[in-house]
Structure 1
């Protein structure tokens, strides 16, 4: 995640709204095996270790990450393409993956940035979101999910340098192509070691974002996890989509912000410490991930996708 997201007022999910109750609960989203997500994180760590310790824009570890994710999706029958762009004199890459079938005029899109900062391997930021949506994509194939809407995934480059990859992608779309994307869900830092459970607030976002917020809240509620809303503004890859009027949502477990006593009572963890003390540091390795938060967020990603795309 590029910079700290400001936290909004707490919202504890204590009961389903009409919209929450009506949509996702009846849909049989799979339970995502966190061990599979962790295996993807181990691969990102290995790639960083073999390429100077990071997976940053313009560095070999980033392209190796793109190629590895692409190989997994190609084997699962996705239609993939790598989109290149230039920033700061270096070539960056986005990976776009389309799941077969569904209404091409009604696209549900999920994404997260794949790049790290130069200081470290970026396993929580944002290997976690990248690995989670990868596993959810693979489970679409494994469970033979046949949504009525078309599902597309994006892994973005150069987020850490100002949302460059996602902005390039949205700007590359024609007006007609943009109009076909009916929702975008963003997952950036989903396994912070001292986690919070934050859902992007629909306040100030395009019309239609509230349904995405409520779907994500309902996903956590189904697991007995209270959430708080966070005001994300323009600080992660959803921003380019929101600027084009596309409804957006997402989840987040916290960066260098400090967990409060009330949050520690609600979620566990340590009050007075950062959600992620290794944010943008060399210690953001596979040891810097809370498996419970990673598991819960991956399940909620699947829950919301199955509800939104069915």
Structure 2
């Protein structure tokens, strides 16, 4: 009889201990909310940035090209917004082809400086036009994601850095200048670079860089959840600023809606738009203005970029 009571007492204590552990785990789960999802980036804000970049072009000879006043004015426009939002900004001057170019770097305070996540876009146009699709779209998308970070007062585990590159259209000169100027060991602290070059082409496709499987998956999972099919990007291979980082051994990812290549019937069937025409009929032409974008593609890609920044920065 005494042995039976002792055994029952032990069982009761064990049961209570297990129940207590379960309740503690449940309480901790309630006290530790899941990481916040990325906010929806208002496409109207991105479009307003494009309107402002168009006006800058109109006021400065019809372009925002390397070495031209419209380029520096575009950089100053983005810098002013980031400064007001609390970013630590710096201008990097460089010379290419006898002309001065500018990179704008914006760091969000906090996060591990030995784990840096970067997102960027080139902000120069070709000399023939305003460059609203190429690459006002990427520049404005990255800007609004950065401003969303400030609005949310995001406190990521990793350090967040945003960049707007000069002189991409004349040989990736700005991003190469930045990467080549990194001090010894600094490249190893950059966990990934996300590139946004042409994210609102008027006859859009949805292309995701496939250079790094982990970064690619963050984007493809987001599009898949929205039932938007994607394809691996091939047209951008070595042709945009991510190449400067990739050549330094830094993982890269990115988004692209197509340039001068022709949309196939198969692609039109899954994405809409017009088969037999290029993704951007005004690619590198004077007609690359405010009429030359897809707001739907711009909206989707800005949101996808925000998701990647939130997801990858911890």
The normalised TM-score by structure 2 is 0.88
1:113 positional shift: 0.3
Aligned to 2:155: 146
CA distance in 1, matches of 2:198, 2:184: 30
The answer to whether structure 1 residue 227 and structure 2 residue 216 are counterparts is no
Aligned to 1:182: 191
1:268 positional shift: 0.4
Aligned to 1:19: none
Q: Secondary structure at the match of 2:58?
A: helix
Aligned to 1:42: 51
Query: Structure 1 stretches of 5 or more lacking a match?
Result: 1-24, 203-208
CA distance in 2, matches of 1:233, 1:300: 21
The answer to whether structure 1 residue 66 and structure 2 residue 69 are counterparts is no
CA distance in 2, matches of 1:222, 1:49: 40
Aligned to 1:132: 141
The answer to whether structure 1 residue 259 and structure 2 residue 268 are counterparts is no
**C-alpha contact 1:97 1:154 (8 A) present in aligned 2:** yes
**C-alpha contact 1:114 1:156 (8 A) present in aligned 2:** yes
Aligned to 1:276: 280
Measured against aligned partners, the alpha-carbon deviations of 1:37-76 in whole angstroms (never above 9, x if no partner) come to: 0000001000000000000000000000000100000000
- Superposed CA RMSD: 1.0
Aligned to 2:250: 246
1:233 positional shift: 2.5
CA distance in 1, matches of 2:232, 2:240: 15
CA distance in 2, matches of 1:154, 1:245: 18
1:27 positional shift: 4.7
Question: Which has more radius of gyration?
Answer: 2
Aligned to 1:85: 94
> How many residues are paired up?
280
1:220 positional shift: 1.2
The answer to whether structure 1 residue 157 and structure 2 residue 166 are counterparts is yes
Measured against aligned partners, the alpha-carbon deviations of 1:261-298 in whole angstroms (never above 9, x if no partner) come to: 01111000000001000000010001100000000000
The answer to whether structure 1 residue 292 and structure 2 residue 296 are counterparts is yes
Aligned to 1:200: 209
- Choose the corresponding residue for 1:169, options 152, 156, 178: 178
Question: Following TM superposition, where does structure 1 have runs of at least 4 consecutive aligned residues deviating by more than 3 angstroms?
Answer: none
Aligned to 1:214: 217
The normalised TM-score by structure 1 is 0.89
Query: Structure 2 stretches of 5 or more lacking a match?
Result: 1-33
